[in-house]
Structure 1
Amino acid sequence: MWTLLRTSTLRLPISVIIMVSASVNGSSTDKRQRKLELPAEANASLSVPVDTKAVFDCPSILLTSVVVTTWQIILRDKLSCTRAYRRDRNETKEGNCTDERITWASRPDENLALQIDPVATTHDGFYMCQMVTHFGNFHRGYHLQVLVPPEVTLFQGKNGIAVCRAAAGKPAAQISWNPEGDCVTEQEHWANGTVTVQSTCRWEDRPVSVSCSVSHVTGNKSLSLELSLGLIIRGFPASSLLVILYVKFALFLVILVIVAFIYFQRINGCRARK
């Protein structure tokens, strides 16, 4: 009976194998009409930096015992893609696969791994290797998260504030300050899944040297900035301080002219009396 079952499996067209693999998520008609949802859990979680290469391995099974191998790829907001290889015919087929960056890692008759080269933020999703063998069926799944390092900047704003920005990171970065100040942190989410985090801080009544630390899974970064006296003195904005300085300088010039005038008048009076 096992021999008959194995023989019948070998005679199935590879297109039927692909359809059976996809039937878990609905019929082929339903698949064209609706978008698939990601599984709630995967066998393993994999985090890969953007613009690098990712490789997914199938279960460690002797290749000579493998009948059919199917990779099912479920990306967010896209139809399920399947890539399959039938060993006895050395035949590969695919369905709904349009991303040329997702390919076999090598020749399927030598290596059944799947690769993405290079990885983009659009590759977040679920990747499942399903194997039909002489000894039973095996599978291995991966939940892929693409990591994007943020672009970190620290700059001096108006009215004695400092702004630290971690732009377009994935996941969102964390920002901290030294010394701590009166801070407001905001997030802006982008369509590609990245997040920009911006923290704005103020230190009252004193000039200060500040440091902004950005924590992220791809690496941490710290920047420093000197807030000058002209930017923060007793809470006055920089524009008000400049006006005060100009007024004081003008008064100094006026006083200097008056003193000089009086001095020269006295000298001339002394000369006249002589």
Structure 2
Amino acid sequence: MRAIMWIYVCIIFLSETWSLHSGTNENTSLKASTTSPPKKFLVHRNAAFNLGSDAYLNCSDKTWSETMYVIWNIEVNNKSCKIALSNDGEGKNTCNDGKSLRNTSSGQSFLHIPGFSADDVGVYKCESAFKGGSENYDIDVTLTVSPNISAWLKYKDNKMVAVCRAERGNPPANISWSHTGNLETVKTLNDSNGFVTVESYLELPESVTPENLSCIVRHMSWNQEKTLVPELKKGQSSEYKTE
């Protein structure tokens, strides 16, 4: 009888031990499934650069001590190319047009575009991977060109008309007048190279003398607006007087 009881106790002990080990395995599996995935950031932004300037684009504020690799996929002027660099020094550049990856004095990576031109306008996609996640940027890059500006007066149907022109700029300039007139017309002309000419025509009321009239031109490439005083002179469609 005692032998039978001893066997029964052993069976219970083994059953509890197996149950304990099974529970440990299930807890381990649960912990693995709750591991957080790497963080991934996606940012869309716009950038504009003046014609002929050196352009700089950054993909992350992380330094190379934190970064594993940086990859730029570039689509410009019906051309696609790639520039990449890893923290072990391995690199790739298929652009072959002067674009390159450089570092700041603190070790942050950036893309350098020398002598920015219409051929560099396009979409720049960058991925920067670091410990714990990655940053992805889609950057629409455009060209900024300062327009040539002029203003003059002319007679049309026995009425005085002031004309203000902002020629071959990008993006289009904004034109306004110091006085409102009886009729104001704005024409926008686009050329094949992507530049835009804006012309504003103002029919002057009798109460406004030409000497007191001025044209104000604003453009994103300028720090300040520019003011022109139109003059009535023969053959002066491209000349102006600046206050």
TM over 0.5: yes
Structure that is richer in helix per residue: 1
Alignment of 1:1-274 (within 5 A): 43-75=44-76, 77-88=77-88, 90-95=89-94, 97-100=95-98, 102-106=99-103, 111-159=108-156, 160-181=160-181, 182-205=183-206, 207-209=209-211, 210-219=213-222, 220-226=225-231
Tell me the SS of whatever aligns to 1:60: strand
Work out whether residues 161 and 202 of structure 1, in 8 Å CA contact, stay in contact via their aligned partners in 2. yes
Greater CA deviation, 182-191 or 130-139? 130-139
Q: 1:174 to 1:66 in 2, by over 3 A?
A: closer
Distance in 1, matches of 2:192 and 2:96, equals 21
In the TM superposition, what is the alpha-carbon distance from 1:197 to its structure 2 partner?
A: 0.2
| TM-score normalized with structure 2 length | 0.64
Deviations 1:182-202 (A, max 9, x none): 222101012332210011222
Equivalent pair of 2:166/2:198 in contact (CA under 8 Å): yes
Q: How far 1:222 sits from its partner (Å)?
A: 0.9
Q: Deviations over 1:83-116 (max 9, x none)?
A: 112333x232123x1432x222359xx5531111
User: Gaps (5+ residues) in structure 2?
Assistant: 1-41, 234-243
Q: Which has the higher contact order (CA 8 A, sep 6+)?
A: 2
Contact 2:152 2:231 in 1 (8 A): no
> Matched residues in 1 for 2:49 and 2:187: separation?
26
Q: Which runs of 5+ in 1 are unaligned?
A: 1-40, 229-274
Q: Which amino acid aligns with 2:71?
A: T
Aligned length: 182
Q: Deviations over 1:224-253 (max 9, x none)?
A: 13559xxxxxxxxxxxxxxxxxxxxxxxxx
Sequence identity percentage: 25
Query: Could you say which residue in structure 1 is the equivalent of 2:36?
Result: none
1:148 to 1:48, Cα distance in 2 relative to 1, 3 A: same
Structure 2 residue matching 1:122: 3-state secondary structure: helix
CA 1:58–1:203 in 2, change beyond 3 Å: closer, same or farther?
Answer: closer
SS of the equivalent of 1:113 reads: strand
Once the two structures are superposed, residues 62-102 of structure 1 have per-residue CA deviations (whole angstroms, 9 ceiling, x without a partner) of 42453332111122x423211112333x232123x1432x2
Contact 2:147 2:173 in 1 (8 A): yes
Counterpart residue type for residue 99 of structure 1: D
Question: Do 1:122 and 1:192's aligned partners in 2 also have CA atoms closer than 8 Å?
Answer: no
SS in 2 for 1:82: strand
